[in-house]
Chain A
Amino acid sequence: MASVQNSYEPQRFSVIHPLDDVAEQKCSSDGLGQIAMTRAVRISLGVLRAYLVLMTLMLCYRVLQLAGVLR
């Protein structure tokens, strides 16, 4: 006759701090090289370049104006 064991044991949860936990598999860029230059990426970076140059010049102008250097 098969014996039936009382297998009930209260559930417990172990909560581990992230700093104490084991390392996790992360998404790595090793061996991937640079991002694929899709059309969207190319356009975004091109617009960004132009924008940054324009904005920086204008902002410098504005700051100098506020500082009283330019009248």
Chain B
Amino acid sequence: MRLEKVELAAGSVLGADPALDIVSPSDAGSATKEKGITVRHGWQRHLLTFLMVFGPGLIVMEADNDAGAVSTYMQAGGQYGLHLLWLLVVLLPICYFVQEMVARLGIATGKGHAAMIYERFGKWWGHFSLFDLMLVNFLTLITEFAAISLALSALGVSPYIAVPVAALGLTLMVITGSYLRWERIVIALCLMDLTWFWLAYKVHPEWASVARNTVVPTMPAGGIASSLIFLVIAIVGTTIAPWQLFFQQSCVAEKRLRFADLKWARLDTLIGSVFTVCVAGAMMLVGNFGFQHGIVFQDPAQFAGAVLPMLGHVTRNAILLLMVNAAVLGTTAISLASAWAYGEVKGWERSLHKNLREAPGFYATYISCVGAAAAFVLVPHVPLQLVILSVQVFAGVILPSAIIFLQLLLNDRELLGERWVNRPWNNFINWTIIVVLFALSLLLAAQVMLPNLFN
């Protein structure tokens, strides 16, 4: 393990826990007074430090509940009722363990995932991963803008106005030259997803049945059909997406989290995982309303229109606006993942702290991703629902490669030393996750090669 030289700022007190230095009253002046906040109690410093570190974990998880995810979870509820709720519980620890490793690698190296793959596995794998990431991200961005178009069309806004305005807003969100400003806006958008709980309550599911299906896997009517397997893989693909690995590691590096922040980054990731899975469950409950009332729908906008006579305008509009919110969250996170990764491989200046002139390549990548996806959606007769579901499956297929790189990097003792590498139990869990993902993808392969196998 090689260590980079650092410069120590005057007035800082470096101890075992640099985020939580204990200072004497006389030391509390100078640099720390200018840049730090002095508190009197231990609980205050823990809370404050957590709040300062909080963000990347919640954002990466909740942004994963993007437009494609809303569609997939609602389809799951609409087609199979509450039968797939248990799958979310299974995916919760998987989400956490994968993203915890990403946060750990980001804190240990201070670099993004693309940079680490490029440096440790060479140019071929670096460019391959980057190409994969950019492709899947671009396809996913199309689904996000498709959702914005669908939802706002249902609210009476022309796609030719809604999509360009959304693209412009998403661009303005990042070019403020402040990471923290972007982070605060996105956290506020994440918290808007709390509305899904109100919607889930409003559709009056049978709570006993919800509890039972959450902990006990049950077989839907019709048994294991190919459509069920396809949907399960789509749910896995949408809950754990490859861009998340790249995004959180780059985000942690951008926020310059310190070694001592790891425990708070873990808590942030845990809170994000739990929140996201609960929101996903709420989406399934809303979709289940369609299942109970025999409503057949292709996308959430269609569902919102169909439930208007039963649930009223407020519910309909809430579903449509939440769809837009999910798409906006997904777009900004995914585009940033692409821009950070591309900048890392190209060696460009890449930071939200920089303005347009200081990091032109970084912002050009972001704006190109957003602009091209927005333009694609405006092409008439694009089969949107097919694109949405295909992207989720494709992401689920590509994911194992990203996780294998993560796993190999976290066993790289030469780079990380003993302190940061995976423990044996980490490796056991991660290899199990990889095997499960491979198995699901192989099931997809079997379904493709032998389509009648499960019918």
Chain A residues in the interface with B (C-beta under 8 A): 9-32, 34-36, 40-41, 44-45, 48, 51-52, 54-56, 58-59, 61-63, 65-67
A24, A27, A29, A67, most chain B CB atoms within 10 A: A27
> If A10-B40, A35-B121 touch, does A67 touch B383 (CB 8 Å cutoff)?
yes
Query: Which among B6-14, B306-314, B354-362 touches the partner chain?
Result: B6-14
Q: Are B109 and A26 in contact (CB under 8 A)?
A: yes
Q: Are A28 and B3 in contact (CB under 8 A)?
A: yes
Report the minimum CB–CB distance from A17 to chain B (whole Å). Answer: 5
Q: Are A19 and B3 in contact (CB under 8 A)?
A: no
Q: Are B408 and A44 in contact (CB under 8 A)?
A: yes
A17 vs B1: C-alpha distance when bound (angstroms): 27
B241 within 8 A of A: no
Q: Across the interface, which residues of A come within 8 angstroms of B25, CB to CB?
A: 9-10, 12
A16 vs B445: C-alpha distance when bound (angstroms): 51
Report the minimum CB–CB distance from B17 to chain A (whole Å). Answer: 10
Q: Across the interface, which residues of B come within 8 angstroms of A24, CB to CB?
A: 6, 18, 110, 256, 258-259
A19 vs B6: C-alpha distance when bound (angstroms): 15
A30 vs B409: C-alpha distance when bound (angstroms): 15
B20 within 8 A of A: yes
Q: Are A30 and B408 in contact (CB under 8 A)?
A: no
Known: A13-B38, A61-B448; 16 extra A-B contacts, CB below 8 A, are A12-B39, A14-B28, A18-B52, A21-B19, A23-B256, A24-B258, A26-B110, A28-B2, A32-B415, A45-B125, A51-B400, A51-B401, A55-B441, A59-B393, A59-B397, A67-B386
A12, A26, A48, A58, most chain B CB atoms within 10 A: A26
Q: Across the interface, which residues of A come within 8 angstroms of B398, CB to CB?
A: 52
Q: Across the interface, which residues of A come within 8 angstroms of B109, CB to CB?
A: 26-29
Report the minimum CB–CB distance from B261 to chain A (whole Å). Answer: 6
A18 vs B18: C-alpha distance when bound (angstroms): 10
> If A27-B417, A61-B448 touch, does A15 touch B20 (CB 8 Å cutoff)?
yes
Q: Across the interface, which residues of A come within 8 angstroms of B52, CB to CB?
A: 15, 17-18
Report the minimum CB–CB distance from A12 to chain B (whole Å). Answer: 5
A20 vs B52: C-alpha distance when bound (angstroms): 11
Count residues of B near A (Cβ-Cβ below 8 Å). 83
Report the minimum CB–CB distance from B25 to chain A (whole Å). Answer: 6
Q: Across the interface, which residues of A come within 8 angstroms of B444, CB to CB?
A: 55, 58-59, 62
Q: Across the interface, which residues of B come within 8 angstroms of A55, CB to CB?
A: 397, 441, 444-445
Q: Across the interface, which residues of B come within 8 angstroms of A61, CB to CB?
A: 448
A9 vs B26: C-alpha distance when bound (angstroms): 10
A62 vs B441: C-alpha distance when bound (angstroms): 13
Identify which of A18, A22, A66 contacts B12 (C-beta below 8 A). A22
Q: Across the interface, which residues of B come within 8 angstroms of A9, CB to CB?
A: 24-25
Identify which of B258, B401, B415 contacts A21 (C-beta below 8 A). B258
**Residue on B with the closest CB to A11?**
B22
Q: Across the interface, which residues of B come within 8 angstroms of A32, CB to CB?
A: 2, 119-120, 414-415
Q: Are A15 and B49 in contact (CB under 8 A)?
A: yes
> If A21-B18, A35-B408, A59-B393 touch, does A14 touch B23 (CB 8 Å cutoff)?
yes
Q: Are A14 and B36 in contact (CB under 8 A)?
A: yes
A27 vs B383: C-alpha distance when bound (angstroms): 46
B37 within 8 A of A: yes
7 contacts across the A-B interface (CB closer than 8 A): A13-B22, A14-B27, A22-B9, A23-B7, A55-B445, A58-B449, A65-B448
Report the minimum CB–CB distance from B446 to chain A (whole Å). Answer: 9
> If A34-B121, A55-B445, A59-B397 touch, does A20 touch B2 (CB 8 Å cutoff)?
no
Report the minimum CB–CB distance from B371 to chain A (whole Å). Answer: 25
B257 within 8 A of A: yes
Identify which of A18, A28, A41 contacts B19 (C-beta below 8 A). A18
> If A12-B23, A13-B39, A22-B6 touch, does A27 touch B256 (CB 8 Å cutoff)?
no
Q: Are A31 and B8 in contact (CB under 8 A)?
A: no
A31 vs B354: C-alpha distance when bound (angstroms): 28
A16 vs B49: C-alpha distance when bound (angstroms): 8
Q: Are A14 and B21 in contact (CB under 8 A)?
A: yes
A56 vs B39: C-alpha distance when bound (angstroms): 55
Q: Are B32 and A25 in contact (CB under 8 A)?
A: no
**Residue on B with the closest CB to A24?**
B258
A31 vs B414: C-alpha distance when bound (angstroms): 11
Report the minimum CB–CB distance from B355 to chain A (whole Å). Answer: 16
Report the minimum CB–CB distance from B421 to chain A (whole Å). Answer: 10
4 shortest A-B CB distances, which residue pairs? A16-B36, A20-B35, A26-B110, A13-B45
A11 vs B116: C-alpha distance when bound (angstroms): 41
A66 vs B227: C-alpha distance when bound (angstroms): 12
Report the minimum CB–CB distance from B442 to chain A (whole Å). Answer: 9
B122 within 8 A of A: yes
A13 vs B25: C-alpha distance when bound (angstroms): 9
